[in-house]
């Protein structure tokens, strides 16, 4: 008895399920077709974008070849607490931690090969987010400075701040020309 009721119930349910399933299949079919069409269009768009993005214009090829014959990197010597003072005299004649030079003039597009000598017995760093540089100068000594190389290439003109990002001489860290300063980049 309970079996028969179950069969009737199942039959009715099967009919409804069939209609619903038909609708689901129709919707699914539309979604799949739409997805395929969209995928093909998007794929073609991506390929087109890639091709146009990597195809150099005749003018671009000519200008890209120019830097190869341009002047090479300019060497810059950067010293931290150089002898004989072991720093630079600040306010009141007190010798403060300092990078020498503390300010620079550079040119857009020129590469600078910087050699940093640290005569201090603690580390410092030369950091400038706008120049995309963050370099640590490990501790050295007055007789044997640590030597660190890095390059930078300014991409835009302006007054750009640099600073030592490691905790050191508080006054120097707050004073331009000591543990912070500016790079004047000319076009
Ligand atoms: Cu410092």
For residues 50 and 80, state if they share a domain: no
Q: Ligand 1 mean position to 109 CA, how many Å?
A: 28
In 3D space, the residue among 163, 131, 166, 134 whose CA is nearest the CA of residue 148 turns out to be 134
Q: Ligand 1 mean position to 39 CA, how many Å?
A: 55
For residues 6 and 32, state if they share a domain: yes
Q: Ligand 1 mean position to 131 CA, how many Å?
A: 18
What domain range is 79 assigned to?
Answer: 72-186
102-120 burial: b if 16+ Cβ within 10 Å, else e? bebebeeebebebebbbbb
Q: Ligand 1 mean position to 123 CA, how many Å?
A: 7
For residues 141 and 94, state if they share a domain: yes
Q: Ligand 1 mean position to 13 CA, how many Å?
A: 79
Q: Ligand 1 mean position to 149 CA, how many Å?
A: 17
For residues 88 and 177, state if they share a domain: yes
**Cβ contacts of residue 154 below 8 Å, gap of 6+?**
106, 107, 108, 109, 110, 131, 160, 183, 185
Q: 125 in a domain, yes or no?
A: yes
For residues 97 and 177, state if they share a domain: yes
Range with top average pLDDT, 48-62, 66-80, 92-106? 92-106
For residues 99 and 151, state if they share a domain: yes
CA atoms within 13 A on the CB side of 150: 17
- pLDDT tens digits, 167-185: 999 999 999 999 999 999 9
Query: Do the Cβ atoms of 183 and 154 come closer than 8 Å?
Result: yes
In 3D space, the residue among 139, 180, 177, 185 whose CA is nearest the CA of residue 160 turns out to be 185
Q: Ligand 1 mean position to 169 CA, how many Å?
A: 7
For residues 163 and 107, state if they share a domain: yes
For residues 43 and 104, state if they share a domain: no
- pLDDT tens digits, 101-146: 999 999 999 999 999 999 999 999 999 999 999 999 999 999 999 9
For residues 16 and 83, state if they share a domain: no
Q: 60 in a domain, yes or no?
A: no
Locate the DSSP E strands across the chain.
Answer: 74-80, 88-89, 95-96, 99-100, 104-107, 112-118, 124-128, 133-137, 146-152, 158-163, 180-186
Domain CATH for 79: 2.60.40.420
For residues 99 and 14, state if they share a domain: no
Q: Ligand 1 mean position to 137 CA, how many Å?
A: 9
pLDDT greater at residue 112 or residue 50: 112
Q: Could you tell me the pLDDT band of residue 25, with boundaries at 50, 70 and 90?
A: low
For residues 182 and 118, state if they share a domain: yes
Q: 148 in a domain, yes or no?
A: yes
Q: What is the pLDDT of residue 127?
A: 97
Q: 62 in a domain, yes or no?
A: no
Q: Ligand 1 mean position to 165 CA, how many Å?
A: 7
Q: Which residue is it, tokens 């760093």? A: 125
Q: Ligand 1 mean position to 128 CA, how many Å?
A: 13
- Residue 186: is the preceding peptide bond cis (ω within 30°)? no
Q: Ligand 1 mean position to 9 CA, how many Å?
A: 83
For residues 97 and 6, state if they share a domain: no
Q: 86 in a domain, yes or no?
A: yes
- pLDDT tens digits, 76-102: 999 999 999 999 999 899 999 999 999
Number of independent structural domains in the chain: 2
Q: Ligand 1 mean position to 102 CA, how many Å?
A: 12
Q: Ligand 1 mean position to 111 CA, how many Å?
A: 24
């Amino acid at each position: 008895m309970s079996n028969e009721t179950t069969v009737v119930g199942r039959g009715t349910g099967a009919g409804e399920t069939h209609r619903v399933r038909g609708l689901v299949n129709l919707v699914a079919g539309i979604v799949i077709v739409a997805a395929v069409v969209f995928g093909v269009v998007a794929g073609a768009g991506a390929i087109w974008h890639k091709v146009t993005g990597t195809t150099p214009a005749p003018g671009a090829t000519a200008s890209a070849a120019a830097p190869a014959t341009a002047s090479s990197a300019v060497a810059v010597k950067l010293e931290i607490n150089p002898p004989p003072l072991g720093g630079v005299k600040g306010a009141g004649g007190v010798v403060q931690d300092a990078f020498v030079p503390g300010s620079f003039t550079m040119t857009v597009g020129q590469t600078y090969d910087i050699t940093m000598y640290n005569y201090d017995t603690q580390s410092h760093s030369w950091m400038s987010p706008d120049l995309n540089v963050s370099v640590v100068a490990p501790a050295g000594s007055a007789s044997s400075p640590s030597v660190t190389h890095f390059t930078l290439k300014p991409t835009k003109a302006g007054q750009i701040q640099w600073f030592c990002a490691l905790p050191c001489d508080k006054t120097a860290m707050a004073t331009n020309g000591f543990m912070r300063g500016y790079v004047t980049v000319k076009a």
